[in-house]
Amino acid sequence: MENTCPVCGKALNWKNGVYECQSCDKTFIKQGFCLACDAQVERLQACGATSYFCHSCNELKSRSSVKTVFEEQKTVS
């Protein structure tokens, strides 16, 4: 899956745990949401494979059962 800026559509750079858009000068974090119930899912990294856990459905979700959204990370000053 390609990581593109939700604002300008350009490619995002992965940097220090966040996605950075150089054109917009914004940083984004990737959030997963359950397609079944729309709750935010927890990302689990195991054995090189990424899976997700929905606390609302109380079950593991595959990548195809989850939609990923880039949310702008507000800079705290």
Contacts with Zn ion, residue ranges (CB under 5 A) = 5, 7-8, 21, 23-24, 34, 36-37, 39, 54, 56-57
Smallest gap from residue 25 Cβ to Zn ion (A): 8
18-to-13, 29, 30, 61 alpha-carbon distances in Å? 8, 5, 8, 23
Q: What is the largest CA-CA distance in the chain?
A: 39
- Select 37 or 44, whichever has its Cβ closest to Zn ion: 37
Min. distance of Cβ 44 from Zn ion in angstroms? 14
Q: Give least dist CB 60 to Zn ion, A.
A: 10
